[in-house]
Each structure stands twice: as structure tokens, then as C-alpha cells.
Structure 1
Amino acid sequence: MRVSVLGTGTMGAGVAASLLRAGHEVTVWNRSAEKAEPLGERGATVATDAGAAVAEADVVLLTLFDTDAVVDVLESAAGEAPTDAVWVQCSTIGVAGTETVVQLAGKYGITLVEAMMLGTKAPAEQGTLTMLAAGPSDVLDRIDAVLDAIGAKTVRAGEQVGAGTALKLAANAWIASITAATGQSLAVARALGLDPELFLEAIDGSASDSAYAHTKGKAMIDGTFPAQFALDGLRKDIGLITDAARSTGVSTVLLDALGRVYADASASGHGGDDIAAVGTAF
């Protein structure tokens, strides 16, 4: 299929590489052109603007940072794509942002579904993300080959765009919580005179074990944080989750605390580091 990827940051670049590996015809565009150029060396067509990128697309993937970026790109490129192209909103933009994009899709008469990406840099590059999809089943059926190229599995959250976003917010609340909790437990163990590795050994293989605790815990112990999922990106998501929870009457006590601890790590200079750097806040 002819697939256009708009936004080649950490996730978009990995997604584009996985699509190329699966044999799709890929066109990429990024506001900062230098981030898209390496994909040209791997066989992608590098477009000079978003409109040109979607001109012959069967599927358009929006892999951008926030609502403003998605709206800007959608408004600049919507009229340039074939009328039967399927637009796939993959950016984590929250409930209100998704509603805005749905309204714009209606305005421009485009076919929109969503496929949130659950995973980080390495799974994006390996094509092993979990895709949280939503939209009419017949439209999602049309893009199965694309989702299969970038994900190990696809969870269909519902027939309406927005259900995938809801599931992504719930999943990222878990990721934010378990990462911060790992940092807290390691800090407590160290403060009480123990080798923090003993905490990971204690939970290993137990009912409370988590592969994520080991992955992020090792980075915390080593003090090295190459970004798989940037801490400031998760901070943005925590804000979206908090807004969604508050608007529906769900307590934000834990989310508020998470927001503070990730903000502390960011203020210490770790905003661009991996989310494991939240451990420094303890």
C-alpha cells in the first residue's frame, strides 16, 4: 500500500522503517526535514511539504506530538489527498483534542480512524507495537496490512474514533504509575541501606513482577536514560489523562502526585531523557 507518515520523530521514524521493511510504499514528511532524511536512505520518499506527502496516499498516518501539530498538518494537507484515502490518527492528543480532529475530518470530508501506539522507540522500530484502534470496522479492515506491519497485535476499542484514545490514556496512566513506583521502591531500598537490585530480585517471578519494572529499574540503577519514551512526552500525557479523569468525576489524587514527580525530574534537566529518569525525583 502507499502509506504516508506525517511526523518522523521517535515513534514516526520507527513506524516508517517498519512499513518499509514490510514492503509498503512509504512517503514521509517532518516539519524538521533533517529528521526525515535518513528514511530516504532506507527507501522512503521524502516529501518537502505535508500536502505533497499525501498526494497519492492510500493511508495517511498522523504521528505527531500534540493537538496543535495534528490540527495544523490536517488543515494544510487534507485537500491534497485522494478522496478515498484513510487517515489514521496515531498521536496522543487526549479527549478534547480527538474531538477537535473528528470535527475537522467531518469538515474536510475525510475518512478518519485512530490507531494509538502502545510501546516505545524499540517496538516501533521492530514493528512490535500494540495498536489501539477505533473506527468503523470496515474501514479498519482496509488498513489491517498497515497495522500488522507496525504492531504485534491490534486491539479494537470500538466503532467510534475516541475509544482508542480512551484506552491509550488508561494504558499510559498505568505506565506512568508503574515507572514512578519502581523509582520509589528502588529509592526506599537504597535509603535503608540495601542494594536496590535486591528489590528487583525480590519481585522477580512473583505475582507482583513486571517486565517493565526490570527494564526501567535497571536504567534507574545504572543512571543512564537513553530516550525510548521521553519524560516530557509522558508529562504531556499525564496532563491529558488528568483532564479526562477530572471531566468524568474520577479522582485525580494519584495523577496529581504523578504529575508533580515527573515535573520534578523534568525540572532537574531530564525532560528529554527516558521516563526511567523519573527515579531521580526520589
Structure 2
Amino acid sequence: MTSSTADTTAYRPVVAVLGTGIMGSGMARSLLRAGLDVRAWNRTQSRAAPLAADGAVVTGTAEEAVRGADVVVTMLSDGPSVAAALAAASGGVHTGQVLLQSSTVGIDATADLAQRAADLGLVYLDVPVSGTKQPAEQGALTVFVAGPTAVRATVEPVLDAIGRRTVWVGEAPGAASRLKLVVNTWVITMVNNIAECLNLAEGLGIDPQSFLDVMKGGPLDSAYLQGKSAAVLSGDLTPSFTLSTALKDTRLILDAAQSAGVRLDLVAASADRFVRAEAAGHGGEDMIATYYAGRAPEQDDD
């Protein structure tokens, strides 16, 4: 991440951030802390408005946000949302402008968006990120990049601001998104594994904290296990990554696996749990709310 003592003559691109939800707003704040000029737009403008207090220029339209920017970052919910944002911004883009497409949209949508960007004269980089709310706010994401290395100098200040680690996967769009789906497979099966362990502990009359204490400090322990479990036990399911978004990503993984001829039993089961938890009203909560999918209906307090 760029230090506050960085050379004031260093190249500082103007960045337009389209999409200021949990991840986009955190990334925008990391860009601002790095000393970059940020223009922020969100379809629901009230969600972008708080960024003005951090120094961002909050615009009323996507077209206004991208006009004159060196780099455009999209962080939206899915492929159709990114396509709609690009269409809305099309009047303000210029040939050679760099697009960092950071939304998790899957393989097919990545190809479609790359073509849309090319039609607009944009230089498209496939740039999904790994991490949730806190890493986004801290500039500590892991960033996967697939795209032309010719624009590396242009985008490095942006990548350094939002990420602790950048992994260049290749030049062809889609390579980074494929790696992101593999990473998300680990996350999705892990969060459901944690939820099921808590469900089973409670079902057997064991204090879930006893399970966590046994695991703590051992080779199978992790900050992820302890943190997600603490969220369930405290009842604080403020989303770092919503359950509904996790379900969307799970479906993208299953689509990719089917196309590749791979069977993912654990991911399919995870999708079933997410569907049940979402149907019970937990879609807007943190994805560890998959815990509620394993409780008997009379146990669910909601």
C-alpha cells in the first residue's frame, strides 16, 4: 500500500470507482488514503455519499465519474450490473482508458464484458480480488490480474493501494477470474464447514465454545474459524460478505465446474445451505448465517 511519505512526484492516476457497496467503498477509501483522486458512483447514490467526507468526488452519473479518469474500477454485484454500468458510462469514456473489472462475474460474463470494453475502446483487465470488508478498507486485499502488461505502470498505483499482494496471472482476460473461482471454492466450503461444526456441537449438547477452545492454537485452527464462529455466538452478523453474494458466487463456481466436467459435491451442498438460509431471511447478513440452514425451524429465532 502506498505510504504517506511517498514521493509527491510519483504518478497518481485519477480513478473512477463504479459500485460503492461493502467492497467498493472500502477500496475507494484505500485509494484515497494512497493520495489518489477518486470519483465515486453508485446506482443508489446515497450509498456513495459517505465517501465525500473521505475526499472522493461523488457523482450523480457513471458518465460523469469516468470522464477524464485514467483508470475505471468496477465493483458490482454481477455481470449484468457491470454491463449496465458500462453502458451508463459509455458517453464519458475515452479510447485507451483502463478498466479494472473487479467484480466476481464468472467465466462467461468475463468474456462478454471484455468484448463490451473493447467495443468502447477500453483496455480491459480482469482483476477480481480476494478478501472481505476489513481487507478492502485496509488496502489488504489479494488482487488477481489478467491483462496486458503494457499498462502495468498505469495500474500499479491502484493495485498497490487496494491490495497487499498482487498476482499477475496472464494477459488473457478470464485467467484471473478462473483463479478467483478456485479461491472462492475454498472459502465457501470452509464457511459451511464452520457452520456445520457449530450446528453439530449444539445438537449434541456441547457448548460450541468448547469446540473452539480445543481447536485454538492447534494445526487446524485459523483466524477464520475463530472469527466466523465468534460472529455466530455473539449474534453479530453484520456482513463482511453477504450470504446472498456468496450464493451468487457459489452458482458461478458450479457453472464453471459443469463446463469443465468437474463434480463439486461440497460446493453443491453449500449452495443448498445458502438457499435455505436466504429463504429464512438471512441473505443480507454475513455469509456465516449459513449456520441457520442447519438449525431445526423451531430453533431459529428469526
Whether 1:191 aligns to 2:203 is yes
TM-score by length of 2: 0.90
How many residue pairs match? The answer is 282
Query: 1:79: how far off?
Result: 4.4
1:36 and 2:48 aligned: yes
Residues 109-144 of structure 1: CA deviation (Å, up to 9, x unaligned): 210102212111111111111111111222234211
Residues 155-206 of structure 1, C-alpha deviations (whole Å, 9 max, x = no match): 1222211111111111111111101101111111222221111222222222
The 2-side partners of 1:212 and 1:7 are apart by: 27
- Counterpart residue number, 2:35: 23
**1:145 corresponds to which letter in structure 2?**
P
Are 1:103 and 2:103 counterparts?
no
Which residue in the other structure is 1:117 paired with?
Answer: 129
Alpha carbons 2:95, 2:120 under 8 Å: kept: no
Instruction: Report the RMSD for the aligned CA atoms in angstroms.
Output: 1.2
For 1:105, give the aligned amino acid: A
1:4–1:61: 8 Å Cα contact kept in structure 2?
A: yes
* Distance of 1:73 and 1:11 partners within structure 2: 16
Q: Is the 8 A contact 1:113 1:140 kept in 2?
A: no
Is 1:203 aligned to residue 215 of structure 2?
A: yes
Cα shift at 1:207: 2.3
CA distance in 1, matches of 2:153, 2:252: 29
SS at match of 1:226: coil
Cα distance in 2 between the residues matched to 1:271 and 1:209: 27
Aligned residue number for residue 6 of structure 2: none
Task: Measure, in 2, the Cα distance between the counterparts of 1:199 and 1:279.
Answer: 15
Aligned residue type for 2:182: A
What displacement does 1:232 show? 0.2
Distance 1:140 1:276 in 2: 36
Structure 2 CA distance for partners of 1:56 and 1:144, relative to 1, 3 Å: same
SS in 2 for 1:225: coil
- Write the distance in 2 (CA, Å) between the matches of 1:109 and 1:274: 38
Larger displacement relative to structure 2 (3-12 or 133-142): 133-142
Provide the rounded CA distance (Å) in 2 between the counterparts of 1:206 and 1:155: 29
What is aligned with 2:299?
A: none
Which runs of 5 or more residues in structure 2 are unaligned?
1-12, 295-302
1:212 counterpart residue number: 224
Within the alignment, does 1:48 sit opposite 2:60 as a pair?
A: yes
Q: Partners in 1 of 2:168 and 2:227 — Cα distance?
A: 27
Q: 2:269 aligns with which of 237, 248, 257?
A: 257
Whole-Å Cα distance in 2 between the matches of residues 269 and 235 of structure 1? Answer: 14
1:231 paired to 2:276: no
Partners of 1:24 and 1:141 lie apart in 2 by 15
- What is the rounded CA distance, in whole Å, between the counterparts of 1:93 and 1:201 in structure 2? 38
Tell me the secondary structure at the aligned position of residue 185 of structure 1. helix
Task: Identify the residue that residue 256 of structure 2 maps to in structure 1.
Answer: 244
- Residue from 139, 148, 159 that aligns with 2:171: 159
Identify which range, 199-208 or 58-67, moves more after superposition.
199-208
Determine what percentage of the aligned residue pairs are the same residue: 42
- How many angstroms apart in 1 are the aligned matches of 2:280 and 2:152? 43
Q: Which amino acid aligns with 2:152?
A: L
Deviation of the 1:274 alpha carbon = 0.3
Q: Distance in 2 between matches of 1:160 and 1:208?
A: 37
| 2:17 aligned partner, one-letter code | V
Q: Secondary structure at the match of 1:205?
A: coil
**Contact 1:231–1:270 under 8 Å retained in 2:** yes
